[in-house]
Amino acid sequence: MREKTRVILLAVLMIASVGASRIFAEEIVIGFSGPLSGPAAEYGQDCLNGIEMAVGEINAGGGVLVKGQRLKIRVEKRDDRVDPAASLENARELRNSHKALAIFNPVTNTLASMMGINEKPGREFLIMAYSSVPGVSETGNKLLVAITTPFTTYVRNEADLAWSKGWRRGAMVVTSGAYGEGWRKAFSQIWTQKGGLITIDKPTNYYVKTEFVGPLQAALETDPDFLLIGGPSATTAMIVEQARARGFEGGFVLTDQVNLDALYQLMEKPLCLEGAIGVAMLSHISYPASGSFTQSYKSSYLRNPTWECVLNYVGMHALAKAIFLAGTSDDVRSIRLAFSKVMPLLGDIYPVEVYGLTPGGRFIISSSIQTFRYGRFTKPTNDVWWANTIEEYNQVKKITKSDIPPVWKKYADQ
């Protein structure tokens, strides 16, 4: 009798175990494809860190509630080495083998290959694009969310600052590819309209090189007042130091991919940044949630946060909220439509504020500019670039949790 009871008890435990495994086996898979090796590895890792930190918080809170069931999130990461073919293969594998609901990607060149397949019936997946190239969110892709500001807002503001410094001659040594090409074209157009001169355009691949003697030498021989440079922060820091080592005493206009926080920490001689204009240091944009986020991030990753990690972190939280509001973990079109209901995301909860979504699916975030002058950073500005009326601008002033008053360049120019 005891043996029979023992067998029955064992059978019950096995059934319970199988049932539990079924409960916890149901999860939401989020993919990441980006540079995790090579010169851009630090950039890719910062993006991934933000995603994984958000997922850790969501799971610790019980996961995402969908139709009465709490689902955990699992991140599947892949290195694509900034290779569009590898990114495409990663996307297919993540969708087909892991049923990834969404895939994060932080490089325009590799995003393009993924955007060719993510809307195929029966194989749909969301693309969470960390790219400021305006065209990324203007393709009509209905399953894309761009989680950063369009770089055109930075081009205009940085050109204005450079002009106010009395600079008139600029040489461009920006990263190659769709992102760099877009930046160079936009900046050149605005700069020449002002009456300035682009002395030379020498694009170079920041993702594979660590030595920039050729393009730098060619640029410096044109006697520029400033260099327009930018790509991943690690290689951008090398260009700054190599330019100074060759005697360049002018300024730097930095594309928005460059992270001043990371740049300052990476450089052996941070004072080499004198005269730099770029996206504001994250540590200088303060929200009520910034302190706890920074403390948690540094504790987890033993490094300071960057814009890459912050925006991917907020992007992941926004995705989880959209899944909850859509009430589904597999209908990607319903989830994409639910993003508009998630906004605004404000600084009392998040380390950056998202005020809405453009028709093309891009996060509406203020562009924050800062300069390095006389050995220290100036006070940053937050530009409400999307406001078309004074009422829209005042609404941002009313709800923002930032201690930096927002500015409206459109209003100031009128």
- The structural domains of the chain, ordered by start, are 11-150+288-364 (3.40.50.2300), 152-285+368-381 (3.40.50.2300)
Q: What is the mean pLDDT of residues 117-121?
A: 96
Q: Which pLDDT value is given to residue 192?
A: 98
Q: What is the mean pLDDT of residues 310-330?
A: 98
Q: Which residues of 249-271 are buried (b: 16+ CB within 10 A; e: fewer)?
A: ebbbbbbbbbbbbbbbebbeeee
Q: Which pLDDT value is given to residue 411?
A: 52
pLDDT at 10 over 60: no
- How would you class 197 by CB atoms within 10 Å of its CB: exposed for 0-12, middle for 13-18, buried for 19 or more? middle
Nearest to 352 by CA among 272, 294, 269: 294
Place of tokens 């290195």: 79
Where helices occur in 221-306 by DSSP H, the ranges are: 233-245, 260-266, 290-301
Q: Which pLDDT value is given to residue 270?
A: 87
CA distance 345 to 7: 55
**pLDDT tens column, 272-309:** 999 999 999 998 988 999 999 999 999 999 999 999 99
pLDDT at 23 over 60: no
pTM: 0.89
Between 177-186, 215-224, 404-413, the lowest mean confidence (pLDDT) is in 404-413
Q: What is the mean pLDDT of residues 250-272?
A: 89
pLDDT at 75 over 80: yes
Q: Which pLDDT value is given to residue 22?
A: 38
Between 39-43, 192-196, 215-219, 389-393, the lowest mean confidence (pLDDT) is in 39-43
Q: Which pLDDT value is given to residue 18?
A: 39
Structure tokens, 92:
């297919």
Nearest to 362 by CA among 181, 175, 153: 153
Q: Which pLDDT value is given to residue 379?
A: 93
DSSP-derived 3-state class of residue 34: strand
